[in-house]
């Protein structure tokens, strides 16, 4: 495994692998790697000749009151995890290399970036799309692996890739959860023992909504979830939305496959989660 810190060098290495006929898989991360990231790495190692894991804490996707400076940076541990899981290259660029002082270009995915998390985190997805576009160019990846926990991000990246004719194929990967159901996230480390216990009600509530969606109308399903989430001590809801699986448009009575996406604060920690819901064939 090699650690590469320069974007130009990473691109030259990737282009050589392309010339040699290798297929490249990219796993974009912000570090603080956990079992969710490891599951993405495993898919790339299985599917691709070369696996690149990028570790870049992207400042332009953080708002002014968010946790950029406090975001965990266990670089040594992350490199050990990558080596243990057969990663070929860890790409760890500096902020100046990825976003130099004279950087003026940003990528926006209109409409999709302004709903759900985007309505609370202004310019967040502009920052995500911009850096992911750069990573696609730098890595020359044939495939890139994204978890479905941030379902909105997944759909935004898919749309960006299609609209800008990137050769990189987006591979959606299932949410990895702890045994108790909590969706894995780097921010889970911020939760106190009590906060973690309370947060389990988020995934539990969403799981219960799957059965309601098969038989009940959307208003009932959403109100039931809202009421249950409000009962979590110390919780505050940013949003609870039921959207169409394919394009994030609002679900309606004709929707057969939907995603129930939520963002909930447990104390000072903001958690996102979602679950796919499918109507019974008879309805």
Query: Do the domains 2-173 and 186-276 sit in the same CATH topology, yes or no?
Result: no
- What's the pLDDT tens digit per position in 175-186? 999 999 999 999
- What's the pLDDT tens digit per position in 191-203? 999 999 999 999 9
Confidence of residue 282 (pLDDT cuts 50, 70, 90): low
Nearest Cα neighbor of 233 from 209, 275, 200 is 200
What pLDDT score was predicted for residue 283? 54
Confidence of residue 278 (pLDDT cuts 50, 70, 90): very high
| CATH annotation of 2-173 | 3.40.50.620
Say yes or no to pLDDT of 229 above 90: yes
- What's the pLDDT tens digit per position in 137-157? 999 999 999 999 999 999 999
Residues carrying an active site annotation: 37
Q: Which two tokens stand for residue 241?
A: 């939305």
What single string gives the DSSP state of each residue in 225-279?
A: HHHHHHTSTTEEEEEEEEEETTT-PBP-TT-SEEEEEEEEEETTEEEEEEEEEE-
User: What element of type H or E holds 28?
Assistant: strand 24-29
Confidence of residue 280 (pLDDT cuts 50, 70, 90): confident
d(CA 262, CA 209): 12
For the chain, the structural domain boundaries read: 2-173, 186-276
Q: How far is CA 183 from the centre of its chain?
A: 11
d(CA 161, CA 133): 8
- What's the pLDDT tens digit per position in 254-271? 999 999 999 999 999 999
Q: Which residue has the tokens 């609870």?
A: 240
d(CA 130, CA 58): 10
Q: What is the DSSP letter of 187?
A: G
* Backbone dihedral angles phi then psi of residue 242, each to the nearest 5 degrees: -105, 120
CATH fold of 186-276? 3.30.1300
Confidence of residue 64 (pLDDT cuts 50, 70, 90): confident
Across the chain, mean pLDDT equals 96
Average pLDDT over residues 110-130: 97
Confidence of residue 101 (pLDDT cuts 50, 70, 90): very high
What pLDDT score was predicted for residue 138? 98
């Amino acid at each position: 495994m090699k650690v590469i810190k320069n974007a130009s060098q990473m691109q030259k290495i990737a282009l050589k692998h392309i010339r040699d006929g290798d297929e490249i898989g990219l796993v974009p991360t912000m570090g603080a790697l956990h079992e969710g990231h490891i599951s993405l790495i495993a898919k790339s190692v299985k599917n691709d000749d070369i696996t690149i894991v990028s570790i870049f804490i992207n400042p332009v996707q953080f708002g002014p009151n968010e946790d950029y400076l406090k975001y965990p940076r266990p670089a040594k541990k992350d490199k050990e995890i990558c080596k243990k899981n057969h990663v070929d290259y860890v790409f760890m660029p500096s902020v100046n290399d990825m976003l130099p002082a004279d950087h003026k270009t940003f990528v926006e995915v209109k409409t999709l970036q302004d709903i759900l998390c985007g309505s609370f985190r202004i310019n967040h997805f502009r920052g995500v799309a911009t850096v992911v576009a750069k990573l696609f160019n730098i890595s020359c990846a044939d495939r890139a692996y994204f978890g479905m926990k941030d379902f909105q991000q997944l759909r935004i990246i898919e749309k960006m890739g299609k609209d800008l004719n990137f050769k990189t194929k987006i591979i959606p990967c299932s949410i990895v959860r702890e045994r108790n159901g909590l969706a894995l996230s780097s921010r889970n480390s911020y939760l106190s023992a009590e906060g973690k216990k309370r947060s389990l009600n988020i995934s539990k509530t969403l799981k219960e909504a799957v059965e309601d969606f098969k038989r009940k109308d959307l208003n009932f399903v959403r109100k039931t979830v809202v009421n249950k989430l409000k009962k979590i001590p110390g919780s505050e809801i940013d949003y609870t939305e039921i959207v169409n699986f394919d394009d994030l448009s609002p679900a309606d009575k004709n929707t057969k496959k939907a995603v129930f996406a939520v963002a909930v604060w447990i104390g000072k920690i903001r958690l996102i989660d979602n679950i796919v819901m499918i109507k019974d064939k008879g309805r």
